[in-house]
């Protein structure tokens, strides 16, 4: 699955970061998500290492999923200094459109090994219906 635009988007993100002035923050496209779709539900996963699960907000409206939260930088004590700081920190927010409407009150989210996984069952009203053809 190679996306030719991915590299361009990455460069754009990099430029935005350079020109966004002092203080870094995760870009608008963070976190990156993967989605699996099945007959009855959709699973969305995002890599969010080192995030406090209590500080992750997930909201579902109709067929729109929003993941947002904050990732704190490691707090320095007196006399400590950074040699390298590559990990991103700051606020992140991501909204994606799901392939169908989901049951908002049956959404389950788990956080394990730095990976957030959200399972959303398909709304009953949105499920494909089999229409019997009657013969006249």
Partner 1 sequence: MDTRGDYQKVPASTPAETERTRNRKVYVPKVDIIETADGMVMYADIPGADEKTVEVTLEKSVLTIRSTIVPQNFAGRSICYAEYDVGDYERSFTVSDEVDRDRIEAVVKNGVLKLILHKVPQVVAKKIAVRTE
Question: Which spans of this chain sit near partner 1 (rule: CB under 8 A)?
Answer: 1, 32-39, 41-43, 45, 47-51, 73-74, 76-77, 79-88, 96, 99, 111, 113-115
Local structure of 126: helix, strand or coil: helix
**Nearest distance in Å: CB 115, partner 1:** 5
Spatial contact of 110 and 95, defined as CB atoms under 8 Å apart: no
Kindly report whether the peptide bond that precedes residue 80 is cis, defined as omega within 30 degrees of 0: no
**Nearest distance in Å: CB 89, partner 1:** 9
**Closer residue to partner 1 in complex, CB, 34/66:** 34
Taking the C-alpha atoms of residue 130 and residue 39, their distance in angstroms, rounded to an integer, is 14
**Nearest distance in Å: CB 62, partner 1:** 18
- Residue 28: which of 92, 77, 75 has the closest Cα? 92
**Closer residue to partner 1 in complex, CB, 108/131:** 108
**Closer residue to partner 1 in complex, CB, 32/61:** 32
Phi, psi angle pair for 122, to nearest 5°? -70, 140
**Nearest distance in Å: CB 117, partner 1:** 8
**Closer residue to partner 1 in complex, CB, 39/105:** 39
Burial of 61 (0-12, 13-18, 19+ CB in 10 A): exposed
């Amino acid at each position: 699955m190679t996306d030719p635009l991915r590299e361009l988007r990455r460069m754009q993100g990099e430029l935005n970061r350079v020109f966004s002035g002092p203080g870094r923050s995760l870009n608008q496209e963070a976190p990156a998500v993967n989605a699996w779709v099945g007959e009855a539900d959709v699973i969305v996963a995002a890599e969010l290492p080192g995030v406090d699960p209590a500080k992750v907000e997930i909201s579902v409206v109709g067929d729109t999923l929003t993941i947002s939260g904050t990732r704190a930088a490691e707090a320095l004590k007196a006399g400590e200094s950074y040699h390298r700081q590559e990990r991103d920190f700051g606020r992140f927010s991501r909204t994606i459109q799901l392939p169908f409407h989901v049951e908002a009150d049956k959404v389950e989210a788990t956080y394990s090994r730095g990976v957030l996984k959200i399972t959303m069952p398909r709304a009953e009203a949105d499920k494909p219906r089999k229409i019997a053809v009657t013969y006249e």
